[in-house]
Amino acid sequence: MRITKKTMAWVLALCMVAGIFFGICWGGKNGASQVLAKEKSFSKLHVEGTHLCNEKGKTVQLRGISSHGLAWFPQYVNKKLFKELHDKWGANAVRLALYTEEYAGYCTGDKNSRKELRKLVRKGVKYATEAGLYVIIDWHILSDGNPKKNQSYAKSFFRMMSKEFKDQNNVIYELCNEPNGGTDWKNIKSYANKIIPIIRKNDEDAIVIVGTPTWSQDLERALESPLNYDNVMYTFHFYSATHKADMRKRVKAVLKAKLPVFVTEFGISEASGNGRISKSGGKKWLDLFDQYGVSYIAFNLSNKDESCALIKSSCQKVNGLKRSDLSAFGKWYYDLLRKKAGKK
C-alpha cells in the first residue's frame, strides 16, 4: 500500500485519539486521580441556623462514628472498614480522635511519634474520602482540661492539616474535644480565636467545631457570647445513661435560640464510657437532634471491653463486621443508622 499524506494524517489523528483515551483510563485507575474525583463529589458545607447545609441550601445531617484514641486502636483505621461504614452501616461521617495527652497522646511523645500520628490522621482522611465519608479531625483534649495548655502544638498541627486538606470539602476541624476542670468559656474563646485564623488562612470557609465548658455540655456560654466567625459550630456531648431530661431541656432551649450545635460524640452508656446502657434515653436524645437537623457521631469504633465500644470485646476482626460482631450499643446504632439511610 502506498502511504499517502492523507493516510499519514489519519494514522496521526487515530494515535492522538487513542492517546487521549488511554490517558484518561490510566488517570482513572491511578489512586490520586480517583481521590480527586471523589473529593469533588462532596458538597461544600456551610452553617445555617442550628445545622449544616449543602451548596443547594439543603440541610445536611451527618451521622457517623468516632474512632477510639487513634494511637490506641489504629487497626480500625482501614480502607475496608471505612467503606463498610458508608456502604453497609449507612454512615456519612467519621471522626478521628487524636488524643493530646492520654495513651501516647500527640503532645506527650517526641517529634517522630507526632509524625507517625499525623500519618495515621492522613490515612484516616484518605480512607474516609475514598469511602464517601465526611471526616472530622478531632483534637481530643481530656486530662488536659484547658486547651491553652497545649496551644502551641495545636497551632502547628492545625496549620499543617488545614494546608494539606485545604481543597477537600469533606474535612472538618474539631478544635478541642472536652474542656473541663474549671476551664471557662473565656479560655476556650481565647484559644479558638488563635486557632481559627490559622485554619482559615489556608481554607477560608472550613467548618470548625469548638468545644464548650464542662466536658462540652455548657452550650449556654457559647450562646451568650458566640465566636465572631461564620461556619463555626459548638460541641455538645451526651451519654444517655447519665445525661437525662433536665439536660435535654437545656439543650432544647439553646437549639430554639438557633445556636449551631454538633454532637461530635455520644454514647448510650454512663459518662464513664462503661456501666449500664440506656437505649430509650439514647432515642430521646437523637429524636431531639433529628428534629433540629443536628449532626451526631457515636463513640467508639473499638472492641475495648467497655459498654461504649461498638464492637464486642470477643471480636478480633477489623473489618468484614457482621451485626453479631457488635456490642449491644453497636447493634442498636447499626440498626438506627441503616434505618435513617433508608436501608432495609
**Residue ranges that bind ligand IDC, judged by CB under 6 A:** 102, 142, 177-178, 215, 237, 239, 265, 271-273, 299-300, 304, 306, 308
* Smallest gap from residue 338 Cβ to ligand IDC (A): 24
CB of 108 to ligand IDC, least distance (A): 13
Nearer to ligand IDC, 177 or 231 (CB): 177
**CB neighbourhood size of 11 (10 A):** 11
List the 51-53 sheet strands across, edge first. Answer: 46-48, 51-53, 59-60
Which residue's CB is nearer to ligand IDC, number 271 or number 328?
Answer: 271
CA separation, residue 180 to residues 60, 145, 177 (Å): 30, 4, 10
Tell me how far, at minimum, the Cβ of 269 lies from ligand IDC, in Å: 7
Choose between 221 and 304: whose C-beta lies nearer to ligand IDC: 304
Buried b (16+ CB within 10 A) or exposed e, 223-234: beeeeebebbbb
CA-CA distance, 76 to 64, in Å (whole number)?
15
For ligand IDC, which residue has the nearest CB?
A: 273
| 265 is a catalytic site residue | yes
Strand 59-60, strand 51-53: pairing: antiparallel
Among the listed residues 209, 159, 206, 173, the one whose alpha carbon sits nearest the alpha carbon of residue 188: 209
Min dist. Cβ of residue 241 to ligand IDC (A): 11
Using the minimum distance from each CB to ligand IDC, give the nearer residue, 144 or 178: 178
Residue 13 CA to residue 2 CA, distance in Å, equals 18
Nearest C-alpha neighbor of 237 from the set 66, 104, 69: 66
The nearer residue to ligand IDC, 178 or 203, going by C-beta atoms, is: 178
Beta strand pairing call for 63-69 and 46-48: unpaired
Residue with Cβ nearer ligand IDC (86 or 304): 304
> Which residue among the candidates 174, 265, 270, 306 is catalytic per the annotation?
265
Q: Which of 178, 204, 270, 306 is catalytic?
A: 178
Least separation in angstroms between CB 183 and ligand IDC: 14
d(Cα 146, Cα 157) in Å, to the nearest integer? 17
Beta bridge partners of 138: 97, 174
Shortest separation between residue 143's beta carbon and ligand IDC, angstroms: 8
Overall size of the chain counted in residues = 344
The residues annotated with a catalytic role in the active site are: 178, 265
